[in-house]
Amino acid sequence: MSLAEYRREGAVARIALNRPPVNALSTELITDLDAAIAEAADPGVRAVVVTGEPHFAAGADITGFQAAFEAGTQDTLAADLGGFVKRFEALAKPTIAAVRGYALGGGLELALGADFRYLSDDAKVGQPEILLGIIPGAGGTQRLARVVGEHRSRELCMSGRQVDAAEALAIGLADKVLPADELLDVAMEDAARWAEGPTAAYAAVKKASIGGYGLPLVEGLEVEAAAFRDVFGTADAREGVAAFLEKRSASFTGG
Report, as residue numbers or ranges, the catalytic residues. 109, 129
Peptide bond into 54 cis (omega under 30): yes
What is the rounded distance in angstroms from the CA atom of residue 94 to the CA atom of residue 116?
Answer: 8
Q: Do 4 and 16 touch, CB atoms closer than 8 A?
A: yes
- The SS3 call for residue 12 is strand
Q: Would you call 57 helix, strand, or coil by DSSP? A: strand
Amino acid identity at 128: P
Of 13, 2, 1, 5, the C-alpha closest to 188 is 13
Cα separation of 15 and 35, whole Å?
10
Is there a cis peptide before residue 21, judged by omega within 30 degrees of 0?
A: yes
DSSP per position, 86-142: HHHHT-SS-EEEEE-SEEETHHHHHHHTSSEEEEETT-EEE-GGGGGT----SSHHH
Rounded to whole angstroms, how far apart are CA atoms 23 and 61?
A: 9
Question: Exposure of 233 by Cβ count < 10 A (0-12 exposed, 13-18 middle, 19+ buried)?
Answer: exposed
